Amino acid sequence: MTSRLPATAPVLMSTIEGLNYRVTVGDVASQAGLELNLTQQGLMTLASESGGDLQVADSGEIVYVFAPDFRHVLRNKFLRLRLQEVWRKIWRVLFYIIRISFGIILIGLIVAAIVAIIALALAAQASRGEDNDSDWGNIGWGGGSLGYWWHPNIFWLFDWNTGYGHRRRYRQPERPGETPQLNFLESIFSFLFGDGNPNADLDDRRWQSIGSIIRNHQGAIIAEQVTPFLDQTDTLLANESSILPVLLRFNGQPEVSPDGEIIYHFPQLQSTAESKRKKYVANYLEEKPWQFTQATTGQVTIAIILGIVLLVLGVMLQGMLATAGAVSGLIQAIALLALVYGIIYLAIPAGRYFWLQRQNQQIAARNQQRQDQAAQLDRVSPEIQHKLDFAKQFAAETIIRKQDLIYTTEEDLMPQELKQAGADWEKQLQDRHPEAP
């Protein structure tokens, strides 16, 4: 079967579940921060494909009702959803392998470089005809310096839940929001490349916050209430063009007061399937600063030391190769890889550190700008207060209850028409004879 599910299906399904399976377009759009038109199309598709029901109120508003197992129905019906879930599980394993591979390569090159140096040294001594028996005891295969590398339990390197020097293999975060500790091999990847963009969800947070602000104020707002969530300047704030993307996304319309003040009205976000408490929203959209690494200080120290060790070994090998005679291609390859990998290994974090400093300065500047814009609303000047008072005239919330329905796909059409006709007849009689019981 060809999938007709929208690209926003995963977000829509999660939002529907969070809203207890009975939703309006406004409920989902404001909660997920999605465009109203896309939300409406997506809900219609999900309801059609999962066997959901539609409830129509006498005001014309539509409520979408989904069964608690609608995700299971869709997953069984659409191969794409099943493949997405399988791929997420596979990717988690693959990404973990990628993360630890850099540490494995680092340690492997260090060991290979040490072995290559020993091989070159032995070859040089053999070429001079010297007796090397007395030197074997100093190599330290069973103990001493090289023996240190043969740890009795090397599996701590691969532990998903513990870090270097810790035996708590299944340590869980002690506080909500605490970052799980990386194991040693993961810390190498974190030291090299960091742990991802902390603001990857910035746009989602932006529109979810704006949608919640509109719902909290019952569908009528002023520009100053959402400007701290947009990347705009004070000049744009003055002519209120900053709110144009919000109007387009949530089908809003401007309303002008007799004094020429402009407020913004969002009728489709004023209908809801059930009454909800106001959702807390911060005063402004705050970007999170980039973190260099989630690895511990000890892990970073060891990562740097190992990088320096590899670089030194690479330089030593290059020097020994310059004075050696015929050497196997494997040792030449190890020497080149050790030198190149050591340089790149130390250069990437160094360059990334300075790049992050610049990024964090820009983030701090944007956060300060949004905070200053939010402060304008906190001061509540007479002009802003007039606009807020005017916006209240358009504020409304329509809760679509069972008794407000004139049609639902949960029942056959004929009984609903008879029931509606009876209700209309009773209303007409009541209007003609209001004194009748």
| pLDDT tens digits, 197-227 | 999 999 999 999 999 999 999 999 999 899 9
Average pLDDT over residues 335-346: 95
Residue 139: its pLDDT value, please?
Answer: 40
How many whole angstroms separate alpha carbon 154 and alpha carbon 184?
11
**In the block, which residue shows the tokens 């590899």?**
310
Average pLDDT over residues 95-113: 94
Indicate whether 152 pLDDT > 70. Answer: no
Residue 141: its pLDDT value, please?
Answer: 38
- Per-residue pLDDT of 368-382, as tens digits, reads 999 998 888 888 788
- Per-residue pLDDT of 42-68, as tens digits, reads 999 999 888 898 988 887 889 999 999
Residue 283: its pLDDT value, please?
Answer: 92
pTM for this entry:
0.76
Q: What share of the chain is helix, strand, coil (3-state, %, to 5)?
A: 60, 5, 35
* Residue 270 neighbours by CB distance under 10 Å: 20
Q: Which one of 3.30.365.10, 1.10.15.40, 1.10.10.10, 1.10.3720.10 gives the CATH number of domain 1-77+401-437?
A: 1.10.10.10
By DSSP bridging, strand 220-221 and strand 405-408 are: unpaired
By DSSP bridging, strand 271-272 and strand 398-399 are: parallel
- Per-residue pLDDT of 278-323, as tens digits, reads 889 999 999 999 999 999 999 999 999 999 999 999 999 998 888 7
How many whole angstroms separate alpha carbon 330 and alpha carbon 343?
20
Average pLDDT over residues 110-116: 94
Mean pLDDT of the chain: 81
SS3 332: helix
Indicate whether 176 pLDDT > 90. Answer: no
Measured in Å, how far apart are the chain's first and last C-alpha atoms?
A: 58
How many whole angstroms separate alpha carbon 243 and alpha carbon 254?
10
Give CATH 1.10.10.10 domain extents, the chain: 1-77+401-437
Structure tokens at 426: 């009773």
By CB atoms closer than 10 A (0-12, 13-18, 19+), residue 85 is exposed
Residue 208: its pLDDT value, please?
Answer: 94
How many whole angstroms separate alpha carbon 290 and alpha carbon 293?
9
CA distances from 14 to 8, 204, 278 (A): 10, 14, 20
Indicate whether 341 pLDDT > 60. Answer: yes
- Per-residue pLDDT of 375-434, as tens digits, reads 888 887 888 899 999 999 999 988 888 777 777 776 654 454 445 545 554 555 455 555
Q: With pLDDT > 70 as the criterion, what percentage of the chain qualifies?
A: 78
Maximum Cα interatomic distance, the chain, rounded to a whole number of Å: 126
CA neighbor of 261 nearest in space, from 232, 217, 220, 307: 220
Residue 101: its pLDDT value, please?
Answer: 95
How many whole angstroms separate alpha carbon 58 and alpha carbon 402?
11
By CB atoms closer than 10 A (0-12, 13-18, 19+), residue 123 is middle
| Long-range contacts at 190-193 (CB < 8 A, ≥ 24 apart) | 190/293, 190/294, 190/295, 191/293, 191/295, 191/299, 191/300, 191/303, 191/304, 191/349, 192/102, 192/345, 192/348, 192/349, 193/348, 193/352
Q: Between these two residues, 84 and 359, which has the higher pLDDT value? A: 359
Residue 376: its pLDDT value, please?
Answer: 82
Indicate whether 136 pLDDT > 60. Answer: no
CA neighbor of 268 nearest in space, from 22, 2, 28, 1: 28
Q: Residue 19: pLDDT band by 50, 70, 90 thresholds?
A: very high
Average pLDDT over residues 247-258: 92
Indicate whether 36 pLDDT > 60. Answer: yes
CA neighbor of 36 nearest in space, from 199, 201, 200, 214: 214
Residue 130: its pLDDT value, please?
Answer: 53
DSSP secondary structure, 273-316, as one string: SS--PPPP--SS--PPPP-S-SS-HHHHHHHHHHHHHHHHHHHH
Beta bridge partners of 405: 57
380: left (phi over 0), alpha (psi -120 to 50) or beta: left
Indicate whether 171 pLDDT > 90. Answer: no
